[in-house]
A and B are shown apart, each in its own frame.
Chain A
Amino acid sequence: MASDKSKLGFYLLLAPLLLWLVMLIILPHVGLFAVSISEKVGIREYETGFGNYAVFFNEPLYWRTFARTAFMSILTTVLTLLLGFPIAYYIAKLTRGRTKTTLFLMCMIPFWVSELVRTYGWMILLRETGVLSNALQYAGVINGPVEFLYNDAAIMVGLVYTSILFMIVPLVTTLDSLDDSMIEAGYDLGGNGLTILREIVIPHAMPGIVSGCIVVFMLSLGNYLTPILLGGKDSLWFTGMIYSQFITRFNWELGSAFGFLLLGLSSAVVYLGLKFSGQSLSSTMGR
Protein backbone atom coordinates (compact mmCIF):
# COMPACT_ATOMS: atom_id res chain seq x y z
CA MET A 1 0.00 0.00 0.00
CA ALA A 2 1.57 3.27 -1.08
CA SER A 3 1.79 6.01 1.49
CA ASP A 4 -0.18 8.95 0.24
CA LYS A 5 2.49 11.58 -0.07
CA SER A 6 0.88 12.89 -3.20
CA LYS A 7 -2.59 13.70 -1.95
CA LEU A 8 -3.31 15.21 -5.35
CA GLY A 9 -2.96 11.86 -7.10
CA PHE A 10 -5.34 10.29 -4.61
CA TYR A 11 -8.00 12.91 -5.18
CA LEU A 12 -7.58 12.65 -8.93
CA LEU A 13 -8.32 8.93 -8.66
CA LEU A 14 -11.19 9.51 -6.26
CA ALA A 15 -12.90 12.12 -8.44
CA PRO A 16 -14.13 9.89 -11.30
CA LEU A 17 -15.41 7.29 -8.84
CA LEU A 18 -17.35 9.84 -6.83
CA LEU A 19 -18.62 11.58 -9.93
CA TRP A 20 -19.89 8.28 -11.30
CA LEU A 21 -21.49 7.04 -8.08
CA VAL A 22 -23.02 10.34 -7.02
CA MET A 23 -24.26 11.58 -10.39
CA LEU A 24 -25.42 8.30 -11.90
CA ILE A 25 -26.33 6.08 -8.96
CA ILE A 26 -27.06 7.95 -5.72
CA LEU A 27 -28.70 11.17 -6.87
CA PRO A 28 -30.90 9.49 -9.50
CA HIS A 29 -32.24 7.07 -6.90
CA VAL A 30 -32.82 9.83 -4.38
CA GLY A 31 -34.60 11.71 -7.16
CA LEU A 32 -36.64 8.65 -8.04
CA PHE A 33 -37.76 8.34 -4.44
CA ALA A 34 -38.60 12.05 -4.29
CA VAL A 35 -40.78 11.74 -7.39
CA SER A 36 -42.45 8.60 -6.04
CA ILE A 37 -43.65 10.44 -2.92
CA SER A 38 -45.01 13.45 -4.80
CA GLU A 39 -48.66 13.50 -5.80
CA LYS A 40 -49.92 15.59 -8.65
CA VAL A 41 -52.64 17.94 -7.46
CA GLY A 42 -52.71 20.33 -10.41
CA ILE A 43 -50.68 21.43 -13.41
CA ARG A 44 -47.08 21.52 -12.17
CA GLU A 45 -48.33 21.42 -8.59
CA TYR A 46 -47.26 18.60 -6.34
CA GLU A 47 -47.81 17.54 -2.74
CA THR A 48 -45.66 15.21 -0.71
CA GLY A 49 -47.35 12.01 0.38
CA PHE A 50 -47.49 8.30 -0.06
CA GLY A 51 -50.51 8.42 -2.34
CA ASN A 52 -48.76 6.58 -5.17
CA TYR A 53 -47.93 3.69 -2.88
CA ALA A 54 -51.54 3.69 -1.69
CA VAL A 55 -52.68 3.40 -5.31
CA PHE A 56 -50.47 0.35 -5.67
CA PHE A 57 -51.91 -1.39 -2.61
CA ASN A 58 -55.53 -0.47 -3.40
CA GLU A 59 -55.51 -1.60 -7.01
CA PRO A 60 -55.49 -5.43 -7.14
CA LEU A 61 -54.13 -5.47 -10.70
CA TYR A 62 -50.95 -3.76 -9.55
CA TRP A 63 -50.11 -5.73 -6.45
CA ARG A 64 -51.20 -9.00 -8.01
CA THR A 65 -48.85 -8.39 -10.91
CA PHE A 66 -46.13 -7.59 -8.39
CA ALA A 67 -46.77 -10.81 -6.48
CA ARG A 68 -46.99 -12.77 -9.71
CA THR A 69 -43.67 -11.38 -10.91
CA ALA A 70 -42.04 -12.22 -7.60
CA PHE A 71 -43.51 -15.72 -7.54
CA MET A 72 -42.49 -16.53 -11.09
CA SER A 73 -38.99 -15.21 -10.41
CA ILE A 74 -38.71 -17.51 -7.40
CA LEU A 75 -39.91 -20.40 -9.54
CA THR A 76 -37.30 -19.51 -12.18
CA THR A 77 -34.62 -19.46 -9.51
CA VAL A 78 -35.60 -22.88 -8.16
CA LEU A 79 -35.81 -24.36 -11.66
CA THR A 80 -32.44 -22.99 -12.76
CA LEU A 81 -30.86 -24.36 -9.59
CA LEU A 82 -32.39 -27.82 -10.08
CA LEU A 83 -31.59 -27.94 -13.79
CA GLY A 84 -28.21 -26.23 -13.58
CA PHE A 85 -26.70 -28.07 -10.62
CA PRO A 86 -26.24 -31.44 -12.37
CA ILE A 87 -24.73 -29.64 -15.38
CA ALA A 88 -22.34 -27.63 -13.22
CA TYR A 89 -21.40 -30.77 -11.31
CA TYR A 90 -20.78 -32.63 -14.55
CA ILE A 91 -18.56 -29.87 -15.91
CA ALA A 92 -16.67 -29.38 -12.65
CA LYS A 93 -16.22 -32.96 -11.47
CA LEU A 94 -16.72 -35.43 -14.29
CA THR A 95 -14.78 -33.81 -17.11
CA ARG A 96 -11.13 -32.89 -17.43
CA GLY A 97 -8.92 -30.64 -19.50
CA ARG A 98 -10.06 -29.88 -23.01
CA THR A 99 -13.55 -31.40 -22.68
CA LYS A 100 -14.16 -29.25 -19.64
CA THR A 101 -13.12 -26.05 -21.41
CA THR A 102 -15.22 -26.93 -24.46
CA LEU A 103 -18.35 -27.70 -22.43
CA PHE A 104 -17.91 -24.53 -20.42
CA LEU A 105 -17.49 -22.49 -23.61
CA MET A 106 -20.58 -24.12 -25.11
CA CYS A 107 -22.48 -22.93 -22.04
CA MET A 108 -21.14 -19.39 -22.38
CA ILE A 109 -21.64 -18.73 -26.09
CA PRO A 110 -25.44 -18.41 -25.99
CA PHE A 111 -25.07 -15.79 -23.29
CA TRP A 112 -22.73 -13.56 -25.19
CA VAL A 113 -25.52 -13.23 -27.73
CA SER A 114 -28.13 -10.58 -27.12
CA GLU A 115 -31.12 -11.65 -25.05
CA LEU A 116 -33.29 -10.39 -27.88
CA VAL A 117 -31.83 -12.94 -30.30
CA ARG A 118 -32.30 -15.76 -27.77
CA THR A 119 -35.91 -14.78 -27.17
CA TYR A 120 -36.50 -14.49 -30.89
CA GLY A 121 -35.25 -18.06 -31.24
CA TRP A 122 -37.84 -19.24 -28.73
CA MET A 123 -40.55 -17.35 -30.60
CA ILE A 124 -39.66 -19.15 -33.82
CA LEU A 125 -39.66 -22.48 -31.99
CA LEU A 126 -42.86 -22.08 -30.01
CA ARG A 127 -45.30 -20.10 -32.11
CA GLU A 128 -48.30 -21.57 -33.92
CA THR A 129 -46.46 -21.90 -37.21
CA GLY A 130 -43.27 -22.69 -35.34
CA VAL A 131 -40.86 -25.55 -35.34
CA LEU A 132 -42.21 -27.39 -32.29
CA SER A 133 -45.82 -27.30 -33.45
CA ASN A 134 -44.82 -28.59 -36.89
CA ALA A 135 -42.56 -31.26 -35.49
CA LEU A 136 -45.32 -32.56 -33.22
CA GLN A 137 -47.80 -32.56 -36.11
CA TYR A 138 -45.31 -34.46 -38.22
CA ALA A 139 -44.82 -36.99 -35.45
CA GLY A 140 -48.58 -37.37 -35.20
CA VAL A 141 -48.85 -36.26 -31.58
CA ILE A 142 -51.19 -33.39 -32.38
CA ASN A 143 -53.59 -32.92 -35.25
CA GLY A 144 -53.61 -29.20 -35.93
CA PRO A 145 -51.21 -26.33 -35.26
CA VAL A 146 -50.90 -25.52 -31.56
CA GLU A 147 -49.85 -22.19 -30.12
CA PHE A 148 -47.15 -22.78 -27.50
CA LEU A 149 -46.32 -19.11 -27.22
CA TYR A 150 -48.07 -16.48 -25.09
CA ASN A 151 -48.54 -18.42 -21.88
CA ASP A 152 -46.78 -18.68 -18.55
CA ALA A 153 -44.97 -21.87 -19.46
CA ALA A 154 -43.38 -20.12 -22.43
CA ILE A 155 -42.27 -17.30 -20.13
CA MET A 156 -40.72 -19.83 -17.75
CA VAL A 157 -38.86 -21.60 -20.55
CA GLY A 158 -37.48 -18.28 -21.74
CA LEU A 159 -36.56 -17.02 -18.29
CA VAL A 160 -34.79 -20.24 -17.33
CA TYR A 161 -32.93 -20.18 -20.63
CA THR A 162 -31.91 -16.56 -20.19
CA SER A 163 -30.62 -16.90 -16.66
CA ILE A 164 -29.27 -20.43 -16.30
CA LEU A 165 -25.69 -19.45 -17.09
CA PHE A 166 -25.63 -17.14 -14.09
CA MET A 167 -26.40 -20.19 -11.98
CA ILE A 168 -23.94 -22.52 -13.71
CA VAL A 169 -20.86 -20.29 -13.61
CA PRO A 170 -20.74 -19.70 -9.84
CA LEU A 171 -21.63 -23.36 -9.24
CA VAL A 172 -18.82 -24.60 -11.47
CA THR A 173 -16.38 -22.25 -9.71
CA THR A 174 -17.26 -23.48 -6.22
CA LEU A 175 -17.55 -27.15 -7.20
CA ASP A 176 -14.17 -26.95 -8.91
CA SER A 177 -12.56 -26.14 -5.60
CA LEU A 178 -14.06 -29.23 -3.93
CA ASP A 179 -11.31 -31.80 -3.60
CA ASP A 180 -12.20 -35.23 -5.01
CA SER A 181 -10.60 -36.86 -1.99
CA MET A 182 -13.31 -35.37 0.21
CA ILE A 183 -15.91 -37.29 -1.76
CA GLU A 184 -13.77 -40.43 -1.69
CA ALA A 185 -13.41 -40.04 2.07
CA GLY A 186 -17.18 -39.77 2.28
CA TYR A 187 -17.56 -43.09 0.48
CA ASP A 188 -14.83 -44.68 2.62
CA LEU A 189 -16.76 -43.67 5.70
CA GLY A 190 -19.76 -45.53 4.39
CA GLY A 191 -21.78 -42.72 2.86
CA ASN A 192 -23.89 -43.24 -0.23
CA GLY A 193 -24.46 -40.83 -3.13
CA LEU A 194 -27.31 -39.05 -1.42
CA THR A 195 -25.67 -38.49 1.96
CA ILE A 196 -22.48 -37.30 0.29
CA LEU A 197 -24.46 -34.85 -1.80
CA ARG A 198 -26.20 -33.59 1.31
CA GLU A 199 -23.28 -33.59 3.73
CA ILE A 200 -20.31 -32.70 1.53
CA VAL A 201 -21.16 -31.38 -1.93
CA ILE A 202 -24.03 -29.03 -1.17
CA PRO A 203 -22.47 -27.44 1.94
CA HIS A 204 -19.30 -26.85 -0.05
CA ALA A 205 -21.22 -25.37 -2.99
CA MET A 206 -23.34 -23.12 -0.77
CA PRO A 207 -21.55 -19.85 -1.65
CA GLY A 208 -22.05 -20.61 -5.34
CA ILE A 209 -25.68 -21.60 -4.81
CA VAL A 210 -26.40 -18.38 -2.95
CA SER A 211 -24.74 -16.07 -5.42
CA GLY A 212 -26.30 -17.93 -8.34
CA CYS A 213 -29.77 -17.72 -6.79
CA ILE A 214 -29.42 -14.02 -6.01
CA VAL A 215 -28.31 -13.13 -9.51
CA VAL A 216 -30.94 -15.30 -11.22
CA PHE A 217 -33.76 -13.95 -9.05
CA MET A 218 -32.69 -10.37 -9.67
CA LEU A 219 -32.37 -10.87 -13.41
CA SER A 220 -35.80 -12.49 -13.68
CA LEU A 221 -37.43 -9.83 -11.55
CA GLY A 222 -35.96 -7.06 -13.67
CA ASN A 223 -36.46 -8.83 -16.97
CA TYR A 224 -38.59 -7.06 -19.54
CA LEU A 225 -37.92 -8.64 -22.92
CA THR A 226 -38.68 -12.28 -22.21
CA PRO A 227 -42.06 -11.89 -20.46
CA ILE A 228 -43.25 -9.26 -22.93
CA LEU A 229 -42.26 -11.14 -26.08
CA LEU A 230 -43.01 -14.70 -24.96
CA GLY A 231 -46.01 -13.88 -22.79
CA GLY A 232 -47.82 -11.71 -25.30
CA LYS A 233 -50.28 -8.98 -24.45
CA ASP A 234 -51.61 -10.43 -21.20
CA SER A 235 -48.25 -11.28 -19.72
CA LEU A 236 -48.51 -9.20 -16.60
CA TRP A 237 -44.96 -8.47 -15.59
CA PHE A 238 -44.05 -5.69 -13.22
CA THR A 239 -41.32 -4.13 -15.35
CA GLY A 240 -43.90 -3.93 -18.13
CA MET A 241 -46.14 -1.92 -15.80
CA ILE A 242 -43.28 0.42 -14.95
CA TYR A 243 -42.63 0.90 -18.64
CA SER A 244 -46.26 1.66 -19.43
CA GLN A 245 -46.55 4.14 -16.54
CA PHE A 246 -43.45 5.94 -17.74
CA ILE A 247 -43.64 5.83 -21.50
CA THR A 248 -47.29 5.19 -22.40
CA ARG A 249 -49.27 6.85 -19.60
CA PHE A 250 -46.64 9.43 -18.73
CA ASN A 251 -47.49 9.00 -15.04
CA TRP A 252 -43.96 9.26 -13.71
CA GLU A 253 -45.04 9.59 -10.08
CA LEU A 254 -46.78 6.20 -10.03
CA GLY A 255 -44.06 4.67 -12.21
CA SER A 256 -41.39 5.83 -9.76
CA ALA A 257 -43.31 4.30 -6.87
CA PHE A 258 -43.50 1.02 -8.81
CA GLY A 259 -39.79 1.24 -9.54
CA PHE A 260 -39.01 1.74 -5.89
CA LEU A 261 -41.16 -1.21 -4.86
CA LEU A 262 -39.33 -3.43 -7.34
CA LEU A 263 -35.99 -2.12 -6.15
CA GLY A 264 -37.07 -2.73 -2.57
CA LEU A 265 -38.03 -6.34 -3.24
CA SER A 266 -34.87 -7.07 -5.16
CA SER A 267 -32.65 -5.47 -2.49
CA ALA A 268 -34.52 -7.30 0.27
CA VAL A 269 -33.93 -10.64 -1.44
CA VAL A 270 -30.24 -9.89 -1.94
CA TYR A 271 -29.95 -8.80 1.70
CA LEU A 272 -31.78 -11.84 3.06
CA GLY A 273 -29.82 -14.17 0.81
CA LEU A 274 -26.54 -12.78 2.08
CA LYS A 275 -27.66 -12.75 5.74
CA PHE A 276 -29.05 -16.26 5.47
CA SER A 277 -25.78 -17.62 4.11
CA GLY A 278 -23.52 -15.40 6.20
CA GLN A 279 -21.76 -13.89 3.20
CA SER A 280 -20.98 -10.33 2.24
CA LEU A 281 -21.80 -8.51 -0.96
CA SER A 282 -18.13 -8.10 -1.84
CA SER A 283 -17.39 -11.81 -1.53
CA THR A 284 -20.44 -12.81 -3.55
CA MET A 285 -20.45 -10.23 -6.33
CA GLY A 286 -16.92 -8.93 -6.32
CA ARG A 287 -15.45 -11.70 -8.34
Chain B
Amino acid sequence: MIPTIPQARLIKWSYRAYVTLFFVYLALPLSVVCLFAFHNSVFPALPWEGFTTAWFFGTDAPFIGVFHERSILRAIGTSAFVAAWVAGLSVAVGTCNAFLFVRHDFRGKGFLYILMLLPLIIPGVILGISILVFASSVANTLEDATDLWFDGLRPGLILVILGQFSFITTFTTLVISARLQKFDLSLEEAALNLGATKWGAVRQITLPFLMPAIVGAGVVAILMSFENFNTTLMLVGSDSPLTITMFDKLKQGSTPVLNAVSLLLIIISALLGLLSLLFQRSKG
Protein backbone atom coordinates (compact mmCIF):
# COMPACT_ATOMS: atom_id res chain seq x y z
CA MET B 1 0.00 0.00 0.00
CA ILE B 2 1.83 3.07 -1.28
CA PRO B 3 0.49 6.24 -2.94
CA THR B 4 1.32 5.04 -6.46
CA ILE B 5 -0.78 1.91 -6.10
CA PRO B 6 -4.54 2.45 -6.24
CA GLN B 7 -6.46 1.26 -3.20
CA ALA B 8 -10.09 0.60 -2.50
CA ARG B 9 -11.80 3.66 -1.01
CA LEU B 10 -13.08 1.79 2.01
CA ILE B 11 -9.65 0.54 2.98
CA LYS B 12 -8.11 3.96 2.44
CA TRP B 13 -10.66 5.72 4.61
CA SER B 14 -10.69 3.18 7.38
CA TYR B 15 -6.91 3.41 7.49
CA ARG B 16 -7.15 7.19 7.81
CA ALA B 17 -9.80 6.82 10.50
CA TYR B 18 -7.52 4.52 12.45
CA VAL B 19 -4.63 6.97 12.24
CA THR B 20 -6.89 9.80 13.38
CA LEU B 21 -8.19 7.71 16.25
CA PHE B 22 -4.63 6.94 17.26
CA PHE B 23 -3.72 10.62 17.45
CA VAL B 24 -6.83 11.28 19.51
CA TYR B 25 -5.64 8.53 21.88
CA LEU B 26 -2.24 10.22 22.04
CA ALA B 27 -3.62 13.68 22.70
CA LEU B 28 -6.45 12.78 25.08
CA PRO B 29 -4.63 12.38 28.42
CA LEU B 30 -2.53 15.50 27.95
CA SER B 31 -5.55 17.53 26.85
CA VAL B 32 -7.59 16.67 29.91
CA VAL B 33 -4.63 17.41 32.16
CA CYS B 34 -4.37 20.88 30.59
CA LEU B 35 -8.11 21.45 30.64
CA PHE B 36 -8.56 20.69 34.33
CA ALA B 37 -5.73 23.05 35.23
CA PHE B 38 -8.37 25.75 34.75
CA HIS B 39 -11.09 24.00 36.71
CA ASN B 40 -12.83 26.12 39.34
CA SER B 41 -13.12 23.29 41.86
CA VAL B 42 -10.81 21.43 44.23
CA PHE B 43 -11.25 18.20 42.26
CA PRO B 44 -9.86 17.62 38.77
CA ALA B 45 -13.05 15.77 37.87
CA LEU B 46 -16.41 16.34 36.24
CA PRO B 47 -18.94 18.00 36.55
CA TRP B 48 -17.34 21.13 35.15
CA GLU B 49 -17.65 23.98 37.66
CA GLY B 50 -16.29 26.85 35.60
CA PHE B 51 -13.08 28.43 34.50
CA THR B 52 -10.39 29.91 36.74
CA THR B 53 -6.70 30.72 36.72
CA ALA B 54 -6.52 30.41 40.51
CA TRP B 55 -4.48 27.21 40.25
CA PHE B 56 -1.69 29.30 38.81
CA PHE B 57 -1.91 32.60 40.66
CA GLY B 58 -4.30 31.97 43.58
CA THR B 59 -3.18 32.83 47.11
CA ASP B 60 -6.20 31.88 49.25
CA ALA B 61 -6.64 28.35 50.54
CA PRO B 62 -7.77 26.00 49.13
CA PHE B 63 -7.01 27.73 45.84
CA ILE B 64 -3.26 28.08 46.23
CA GLY B 65 -1.69 28.39 42.80
CA VAL B 66 1.55 26.88 41.57
CA PHE B 67 3.42 30.14 41.91
CA HIS B 68 2.55 30.36 45.61
CA GLU B 69 2.75 26.71 46.61
CA ARG B 70 6.03 26.42 48.50
CA SER B 71 6.50 22.65 48.28
CA ILE B 72 6.14 22.66 44.51
CA LEU B 73 8.38 25.66 43.98
CA ARG B 74 11.04 24.05 46.12
CA ALA B 75 10.72 20.79 44.19
CA ILE B 76 11.10 22.65 40.89
CA GLY B 77 14.25 24.27 42.28
CA THR B 78 15.59 20.86 43.34
CA SER B 79 14.84 19.39 39.93
CA ALA B 80 16.56 22.29 38.18
CA PHE B 81 19.61 21.89 40.41
CA VAL B 82 19.81 18.15 39.71
CA ALA B 83 19.19 18.65 35.98
CA ALA B 84 21.95 21.26 35.70
CA TRP B 85 24.50 18.99 37.35
CA VAL B 86 23.43 15.93 35.39
CA ALA B 87 23.50 17.81 32.08
CA GLY B 88 26.90 19.35 32.80
CA LEU B 89 28.51 16.10 33.91
CA SER B 90 26.97 13.87 31.26
CA VAL B 91 27.82 16.25 28.42
CA ALA B 92 31.42 16.60 29.62
CA VAL B 93 31.91 12.85 29.98
CA GLY B 94 29.93 12.20 26.80
CA THR B 95 32.24 14.49 24.82
CA CYS B 96 35.33 12.70 26.17
CA ASN B 97 33.77 9.34 25.32
CA ALA B 98 32.95 10.51 21.81
CA PHE B 99 36.59 11.50 21.18
CA LEU B 100 37.75 8.21 22.68
CA PHE B 101 35.48 5.99 20.61
CA VAL B 102 35.70 7.91 17.33
CA ARG B 103 39.35 8.94 17.32
CA HIS B 104 41.17 6.12 19.06
CA ASP B 105 41.76 2.47 18.38
CA PHE B 106 42.72 0.36 21.33
CA ARG B 107 42.44 -3.12 22.70
CA GLY B 108 39.07 -3.81 24.28
CA LYS B 109 37.36 -0.95 22.44
CA GLY B 110 34.48 -3.11 21.28
CA PHE B 111 34.01 -4.47 24.77
CA LEU B 112 34.02 -0.99 26.31
CA TYR B 113 31.54 0.19 23.69
CA ILE B 114 29.11 -2.59 24.60
CA LEU B 115 29.65 -1.79 28.29
CA MET B 116 28.91 1.85 27.53
CA LEU B 117 25.57 0.85 25.96
CA LEU B 118 24.55 -1.35 28.89
CA PRO B 119 22.82 1.38 30.95
CA LEU B 120 20.23 1.50 28.16
CA ILE B 121 19.09 -2.02 28.89
CA ILE B 122 19.24 -1.95 32.67
CA PRO B 123 15.82 -1.13 34.14
CA GLY B 124 15.90 2.20 35.97
CA VAL B 125 14.76 0.70 39.26
CA ILE B 126 17.66 -1.78 39.23
CA LEU B 127 20.14 0.97 38.42
CA GLY B 128 18.75 2.88 41.38
CA ILE B 129 18.94 0.05 43.92
CA SER B 130 22.38 -1.09 42.78
CA ILE B 131 23.81 2.39 43.29
CA LEU B 132 21.93 2.68 46.59
CA VAL B 133 23.34 -0.62 47.86
CA PHE B 134 26.85 0.14 46.67
CA ALA B 135 26.95 3.68 48.07
CA SER B 136 25.57 2.49 51.41
CA SER B 137 28.11 -0.29 51.75
CA VAL B 138 30.94 2.10 50.88
CA ALA B 139 29.57 4.56 53.43
CA ASN B 140 29.30 1.82 56.08
CA THR B 141 32.86 0.65 55.47
CA LEU B 142 34.23 4.18 55.55
CA GLU B 143 32.30 5.09 58.67
CA ASP B 144 33.45 1.95 60.47
CA ALA B 145 37.03 2.65 59.47
CA THR B 146 37.23 6.37 60.15
CA ASP B 147 34.47 7.28 62.65
CA LEU B 148 33.43 10.10 60.34
CA TRP B 149 30.04 10.58 58.68
CA PHE B 150 29.64 10.18 54.94
CA ASP B 151 26.18 11.61 54.39
CA GLY B 152 26.85 12.23 50.71
CA LEU B 153 26.70 8.48 50.13
CA ARG B 154 23.31 8.15 51.83
CA PRO B 155 20.10 8.66 49.82
CA GLY B 156 20.00 12.29 48.77
CA LEU B 157 20.69 14.66 45.94
CA ILE B 158 24.27 13.51 45.29
CA LEU B 159 23.09 9.96 44.72
CA VAL B 160 20.18 11.18 42.59
CA ILE B 161 22.61 13.12 40.41
CA LEU B 162 24.97 10.14 40.13
CA GLY B 163 22.09 7.76 39.40
CA GLN B 164 20.69 9.89 36.59
CA PHE B 165 24.16 10.62 35.27
CA SER B 166 24.90 6.89 35.08
CA PHE B 167 22.44 6.27 32.24
CA ILE B 168 22.01 9.72 30.65
CA THR B 169 25.74 9.72 29.78
CA THR B 170 25.07 6.89 27.33
CA PHE B 171 22.66 9.11 25.41
CA THR B 172 24.97 12.13 25.34
CA THR B 173 27.85 9.89 24.19
CA LEU B 174 25.77 8.54 21.31
CA VAL B 175 24.53 11.97 20.19
CA ILE B 176 27.96 13.60 20.30
CA SER B 177 29.74 10.59 18.70
CA ALA B 178 27.31 10.67 15.78
CA ARG B 179 28.30 14.24 15.01
CA LEU B 180 32.01 13.71 15.58
CA GLN B 181 31.94 10.86 13.06
CA LYS B 182 30.87 13.33 10.38
CA PHE B 183 33.76 15.65 11.11
CA ASP B 184 36.30 15.98 8.30
CA LEU B 185 39.71 15.31 9.85
CA SER B 186 41.47 17.33 7.16
CA LEU B 187 40.08 20.50 8.76
CA GLU B 188 41.96 19.71 11.92
CA GLU B 189 45.06 18.80 9.91
CA ALA B 190 44.87 22.13 8.13
CA ALA B 191 44.84 23.90 11.47
CA LEU B 192 47.87 21.89 12.57
CA ASN B 193 49.66 22.80 9.32
CA LEU B 194 48.93 26.44 10.02
CA GLY B 195 50.75 26.10 13.30
CA ALA B 196 47.98 25.39 15.77
CA THR B 197 48.69 23.12 18.69
CA LYS B 198 46.75 19.86 18.94
CA TRP B 199 44.54 21.23 21.72
CA GLY B 200 44.19 24.59 19.97
CA ALA B 201 42.93 22.85 16.82
CA VAL B 202 40.42 20.82 18.80
CA ARG B 203 39.23 23.88 20.70
CA GLN B 204 38.94 26.21 17.74
CA ILE B 205 37.87 23.83 14.98
CA THR B 206 36.41 20.60 16.33
CA LEU B 207 34.51 21.84 19.38
CA PRO B 208 32.65 24.60 17.48
CA PHE B 209 31.71 21.95 14.91
CA LEU B 210 30.40 19.73 17.71
CA MET B 211 28.51 22.57 19.41
CA PRO B 212 25.04 21.77 18.00
CA ALA B 213 25.36 18.18 19.18
CA ILE B 214 26.74 19.26 22.56
CA VAL B 215 23.89 21.71 23.15
CA GLY B 216 21.35 19.22 21.80
CA ALA B 217 22.68 16.50 24.10
CA GLY B 218 22.57 18.94 27.02
CA VAL B 219 18.92 19.75 26.33
CA VAL B 220 18.05 16.06 26.08
CA ALA B 221 19.91 15.43 29.34
CA ILE B 222 17.94 18.18 31.10
CA LEU B 223 14.67 16.74 29.77
CA MET B 224 15.53 13.21 30.84
CA SER B 225 16.72 14.33 34.24
CA PHE B 226 13.60 16.42 34.87
CA GLU B 227 11.23 13.61 34.08
CA ASN B 228 13.19 10.68 35.46
CA PHE B 229 11.25 8.78 38.07
CA ASN B 230 12.39 5.18 38.48
CA THR B 231 16.04 5.72 39.32
CA THR B 232 15.35 8.85 41.35
CA LEU B 233 12.69 7.11 43.45
CA MET B 234 15.24 4.69 44.89
CA LEU B 235 17.91 7.28 45.64
CA VAL B 236 15.90 10.22 46.90
CA GLY B 237 16.44 11.63 50.38
CA SER B 238 14.68 14.47 52.12
CA ASP B 239 14.86 16.94 49.20
CA SER B 240 12.66 15.52 46.51
CA PRO B 241 12.67 16.57 42.87
CA LEU B 242 9.44 17.55 41.13
CA THR B 243 8.35 14.14 39.84
CA ILE B 244 8.71 12.58 43.30
CA THR B 245 6.84 15.45 44.99
CA MET B 246 4.04 15.19 42.44
CA PHE B 247 3.87 11.41 42.88
CA ASP B 248 3.48 11.79 46.65
CA LYS B 249 0.77 14.41 46.22
CA LEU B 250 -0.97 12.27 43.62
CA LYS B 251 -1.15 9.30 45.99
CA GLN B 252 -2.77 11.45 48.66
CA GLY B 253 -5.43 12.66 46.23
CA SER B 254 -4.98 15.49 43.85
CA THR B 255 -6.21 19.03 43.35
CA PRO B 256 -6.01 20.89 40.04
CA VAL B 257 -2.78 22.49 41.25
CA LEU B 258 -1.09 19.32 39.97
CA ASN B 259 -2.74 19.93 36.60
CA ALA B 260 -1.35 23.44 36.60
CA VAL B 261 2.18 22.12 37.28
CA SER B 262 1.67 19.49 34.60
CA LEU B 263 0.55 22.11 32.09
CA LEU B 264 3.71 24.10 32.74
CA LEU B 265 5.76 20.91 32.42
CA ILE B 266 4.08 20.03 29.12
CA ILE B 267 4.84 23.46 27.71
CA ILE B 268 8.44 23.45 28.91
CA SER B 269 9.17 19.91 27.75
CA ALA B 270 7.58 20.50 24.36
CA LEU B 271 9.72 23.61 23.93
CA LEU B 272 12.90 21.86 25.09
CA GLY B 273 12.12 18.89 22.85
CA LEU B 274 11.63 21.10 19.81
CA LEU B 275 14.84 22.93 20.70
CA SER B 276 16.81 19.70 20.81
CA LEU B 277 15.38 18.73 17.40
CA LEU B 278 16.37 22.11 15.99
CA PHE B 279 19.92 21.60 17.17
CA GLN B 280 20.02 18.12 15.69
CA ARG B 281 18.53 19.45 12.46
CA SER B 282 21.32 22.02 12.08
CA LYS B 283 23.80 19.17 11.84
CA GLY B 284 23.82 19.77 8.11
Contacts and interface: CB of A to CB of B under 8 A. Distances in A.
Interface string B80-99: 00000000000011001101
B145 interface: no
A24 to B, nearest CB: 4
Interface of A: 1-2, 4, 6, 9-10, 12-14, 16-17, 20-21, 24-29, 31-32, 35, 83, 86-87, 89-90, 93-94, 103, 105-110, 112-118, 120-125, 127, 129-131, 134, 161, 180, 183-184, 187, 193, 214, 218, 221-225, 229, 239, 242-243, 246-247, 252, 255-256, 259, 262-263, 266-267, 270, 281-282, 285-287
B104 A2 contact: yes
22 contacts: A4-B104, A10-B106, A13-B104, A14-B106, A21-B112, A28-B131, A31-B130, A93-B2, A110-B29, A113-B227, A117-B262, A124-B32, A125-B28, A129-B45, A134-B46, A222-B123, A224-B233, A242-B129, A281-B114, A282-B117, A286-B174, A287-B174
Given A28-B133, A94-B3, A122-B29, A17 B112 contact: yes
A18 B31 CA distance: 44
Given A242-B125, A243-B234, A17 B2 contact: no
B280 interface: no
Size class of the contact patch on chain B: 35 or more
Question: Binding site of A, secondary structure by majority: helix, strand, loop or mixed?
Answer: helix
Given A116-B227, A127-B45, A187 B5 contact: yes
B100 A262 contact: no
B123 A25 contact: no
Interface stretch (B60-68, B209-217, B266-274): B266-274
B168 to A, nearest CB: 11
B181 to A, nearest CB: 11
Given A90-B19, A222-B123, 8 more contacts: A10-B106, A16-B92, A31-B133, A124-B45, A129-B46, A161-B25, A229-B250, A242-B125
B121 A218 contact: yes
A105 to B, nearest CB: 8
A255 B126 CA distance: 10
A263 B123 CA distance: 7
Contact of A110 (B5, B30, B99, B174): B30
B153 to A, nearest CB: 12
Contacts of B117: 281-282, 285-286
B22 A262 contact: no
B265 interface: yes
A225 B44 CA distance: 20
A221 B249 CA distance: 25
A195 to B, nearest CB: 13
Nearest to A256: B133
B226 interface: yes
Given A21-B115, A83-B22, A120 B123 contact: no
A131 B27 CA distance: 14
B240 interface: no
A124 B36 CA distance: 9
Contacts of B162: 24
A269 B137 CA distance: 30
A223 to B, nearest CB: 8
Interface in B1-60: 1-5, 15, 18-19, 22-23, 25-33, 36, 43-47
